[in-house]
Amino acid sequence: MADVRAAAVGQADPVVAGLVEPSGPRPRRALSRRNIVIYGTLLLFSVYYLMPLYVMIVTSLKGMPEIRFGNVFAPPVEITFEPWVKAWSTACTGLNCDGLSRGFWNSVRITVPSVIISILIASVNGYALANWRFKGANIFFTILIVGAFIPYQVMIYPIVIILREMGVYGTLTGLVIVHTIFGMPINTLLFRNYFASVPEELFKAARVDGAGFWAIYFRIMLPMSLPIFVVSMIIQVTGIWNDFLFGVVYTRPETYPMTVQLNNIVNSVQGVKEYNVNMAATLLTGLVPLVIYFISGKLFVRGIAAGAVKG
Amino acid sequence: MATDASRRPNSLFRNLNAKIASIPMIFTALVVFVGGTIWTVVYSFTNSRLLPRLNFVGLDQYERLWTTPRWIASIQNLLIYGTLSLIFSLLIGFLLAALLDQKIRFENTFRTIILYPFALSFIVTGLVWQWLLNPDFGVQHFVRSLGWETFTFNPLYDQSIVIYGILIAGLWQGTGLVMCLMLAGLRGIDEDIWKAARVDGIPMWKTYLFIVIPMMRPVFVTTLVIIASGIVRIYDLVVAQTSGGPGFASEVPAKYVYDYMFSAQNLGQGFAASTMMLLTVMIVVVPWAYLEFGGRNKRG
């Protein structure tokens, strides 16, 4: 019966079959040519993207003799954690030999307050823009967004002067202010769009009940918008941790963030180059954003999609 | 809350809390972004050296800028790097996004792998690729040790190709972002479009080329603006990977600005160079902003 029916169907619509067949979905086998091309290409690219990470890891676990006589892709014969210890606690930048640990703690001291302050300010800005629009608010917002495209180099020196006038040039406070300023466009945009999507009835009901600007922000908006705070935090932590330019311009050597110190360690001209220590130091610096990336997963992607304007 | 009658006379105090809360934003927009930009442009017409001084010298700084070989090299590098980086990151980014969009298995794994370099800083990127491209230990050494003794791939120490060495690193870091944006764009295309194209018997590549890509125009434009404004800023990658060397073969404008402002103590030159950078960005951003926001009225 089944055979007959299949034959009948096959005979019944040769026209339709002829129309659909060239591009219609065929039963796919696991190893169709199409799949080989797709997965092959993706695997090839994956190798390109993963290779540097792999090389960083294996190099940082080798001793210098092994590096000199082996090749970069070979896994370590004798695993040693000495380069990591050295990178963390005794690697030299100029005269200081206390390793990357100092840069790490500087970066922590820069990142934590910068992230908190910049997110608080940006969220309040976004809230004011979405729910309490006053005359001219949109003009400032437009300037803010367009300003995100101005090259930092144009504003670097005026900010030096502003910070000097405030008496915080060269201090961590100054750098926190700078990060707050430059994180503002993207995060304000993020929060504005989010708060604008909150149903207005909720806001109106709170107004009717007599809640003011701050009460609505702290009691209603803030508890509702935890996901967007997380997205914003991901953007800010990775952005500030990875910053180099502001760190080098607005801090002194003893308060250099990790990226600046890393660059000074690796690109210092004195002494014998210790590639394993360099790679351990590089990995250590990349570790914080990498951990955030792998933990946050989809939220990171969302942050990128939302924060694409940052450029 | 005040009544309607009492609100009108002093409109300054209307919505006062919102205004107070927006002070940081207003300060950033007006003082830092607008004020700072105007300040830099104005001082680019002065002969400030160690300290900014209002001693106007007309276009002298710009004349000197465009006769300085190092600046010319920076601009050339930016052009080469920028053009190739735009082309390749759009091509590769779109290709990867299209592949990931084929309802494949392990999509998340592949996406994670392609995107992770974007989480890393340019300093880390530059230093890894400095090591990989190291002629004595890196890729060149590896290929030679496989038996191809004359293999030469030494971009970081060869003035004529050093910018391509930086391009490889830049693409490694940045294509994930493009892929992500493109994938979001592809996912925004209605499934019915695909079905209709399939029913009409249009081959897949034609559907992409003539239907999907034209539909994704806004995504492409946004991506283009994002990559382009990022390219103009390129700084840390070069500092980490080559420090602008060998010689000044891999100098870029942002580095020129920094060096003149903070090392050479020639502020006027730095201001003039940064004004040129601003001009470059404006050439990209203004037409885009006009198309995006000028044509239609407010979006909300």
Q: Are residues B24 and B69 located together in one domain of the fold?
A: no
Verify that A38 and A106 share a domain, yes or no.
no
Half-sphere exposure (CA, 13 Å, Cβ side) for B51? 3
Residues B115 and B5 in one domain: no
**Is the per-residue pLDDT at A3 higher than 80?**
no
**Same domain (yes/no): A176, A70:** no
Same domain, A73 and A145: no
Q: How far is B215 from chain A (nearest CA, A)?
A: 19
CA A103 to chain CA centroid, Å, is: 19
Tokens encoding A119:
């997110």
More confident call, B159 vs B289: B159
- The answer to whether residue A38 is domain-embedded is yes
Domain co-membership, B103 together with B189: yes
Domain total of chain A: 2
What pLDDT is recorded for position B8? 52
Confidence of residue A296 (pLDDT cuts 50, 70, 90): confident
Same domain, A195 and A278: yes
What interface predicted TM-score (ipTM) does this complex get? 0.86
8 Å CB contact of B226 and A311: yes
CA distance to partner chain A, nearest, from residue B30 (Å): 8
Instruction: Give the DSSP per-residue string, A93-150.
Output: BTTB-S-THHHHHHHHHHHHHHHHHHHHHHHHHHHHHHHS--TTHHHHHHHHHHHTTS
Measured CA to CA, the distance from residue B228 to residue A187 in angstroms comes to 21
The yes-or-no verdict on residue A30 having pLDDT over 70 is no
Residue A67, in any domain of the structure: yes
B203 touches chain A (CB under 8 A): yes
Do B37 and B155 fall into the same domain? no
> Does residue B5 sit within a domain?
yes
Whether residues A47 and A109 fall in one domain: no
The model's pLDDT over A232-259, given as tens digits with 9 standing for 90+, comes to 998 899 999 999 999 999 998 888 999 9
Contact: B240, A267; criterion CB under 8 Å: yes
Specify the CATH number for the domain of residue A131: 1.10.3720.10
Contact (CB, 8 A) for B169 and A52: no
Q: Does any domain span residue A140?
A: yes
Residue B49 lies in a domain: no
Q: What is the pLDDT of residue A26?
A: 55
* Model confidence band, residue A198 (pLDDT cutoffs 50, 70, 90): confident
Indicate if B14 and B144 belong to the same structural domain.
no
More confident residue, B4 or B241: B241
Q: Considering only CB atoms, which chain A residues are within 8 Å of B173?
A: none
Same domain for A60 and A107, yes or no, is no
Window 30-69 of B: residues touching A by CB (8 A cutoff) are 30-37, 39-40, 43, 52
Residue A80 phi/psi, 5-degree rounding, is -130, 140
Residue B213 lies in a domain: yes
- Residue B112: CATH number of its domain: 1.10.3720.10
The nearest CA of chain A is from the CA of B79 a distance in Å of: 16
pLDDT grade, residue B86 (50/70/90)?
Answer: very high
Q: How many angstroms separate the CA of residue B140 from the nearest CA in chain A?
A: 10
Give the pLDDT confidence score for residue A25 in this predicted structure. 58
> Considering the domain boundaries, does residue A85 fall inside one?
no
pLDDT for B18: 86
Residues B35 and B72 in one domain: no
- Percent pLDDT > 90 in chain B is 43
Q: Which residues in chain B are contacts of A45 at CB distance < 8 A?
A: 92, 96, 114
Q: Are residue B96 and residue B17 in the same domain, yes or no?
A: no
Percent of chain A at pLDDT > 90 equals 37
Tokens representing A6?
């299949």
Q: Are residues B26 and B135 in the same domain?
A: no
In a shared domain, residues A189 and A61: no
Is B181 a domain residue? yes
Query: Do B214 and B285 have their domain in common?
Result: yes
Residue A171 lies inside a defined structural domain of this protein: yes
Residue A165 in any domain: the answer is yes
**Is the pLDDT confidence value at B251 over 70?**
yes
Flag whether B56 is in a domain.
no
Same domain, A69 and A197: no
Q: Does residue B35 share a domain with residue B101?
A: no
Nearest to B36 among A125, A154, A278 (CB): A154
Judged by CB atoms closer than 8 Å, whether chains meet at B274 and A282 is answered as no
Residue B102 is assigned to a structural domain of this protein: yes
The answer to whether residues A61 and A109 belong to one domain is no
- Interface probe with A: pick from B41, B75, B120, B293, most Cβ of A within 10 Å: B120
pLDDT in tens, B21-36: 889 999 999 999 999 9
For residue B152, the 8-state DSSP code is -
Domain encompassing residue A73? 30-80
Amino acid A29 reads: R
Same domain, residue pair A58 and A174: no
Are residues B95 and B137 both part of a single domain?
yes
User: If you average pLDDT over residues B226-244, what whole number do you get?
Assistant: 89
In a domain, A156, yes or no: yes
A183, A251: one domain: yes
For chain B, give me the number of helices (H) and strands (E)? 17, 0
Q: Clarify whether residues A37 and A184 are in a common domain.
A: no
Q: Is residue B82 situated within a structural domain? A: yes
Whether A13 is in a domain gets the answer: no
Secondary structure of A180-202 as H, E, C letters: HHHHHHHHHHHHHHHHHCCCHHH
Identify the residue with better confidence: B147 or B183: B183
Domain count of the fold of chain B: 2
For residue B165, the model assigns a pLDDT of: 92
User: C-alpha A3: how far from its chain's center?
Assistant: 59
Q: Where are the alpha helices (DSSP H) in B44-190?
A: 60-67, 69-100, 107-115, 122-132, 139-145, 162-187
Q: Would you say residue B27 lies in a domain? A: yes
Shared domain for B237 and B138, answered yes or no, is yes
Residue A116 has pLDDT above 80, yes or no: yes
Closest CA relative to residue A192, chosen from A309, A53, A84, A287: A309
Question: Which residues of chain A lie closer than 8 angstroms to B118, CB-CB?
Answer: 304
Q: Do A180 and B132 touch (CB under 8 A)?
A: no
What is the domain range of residue B283? 61-294
Which residues on B lie below 8 Å from A155 (Cβ)?
Answer: 32-33, 36-37, 40
pLDDT band at B294 (very low <50, low <70, confident <90, very high): low
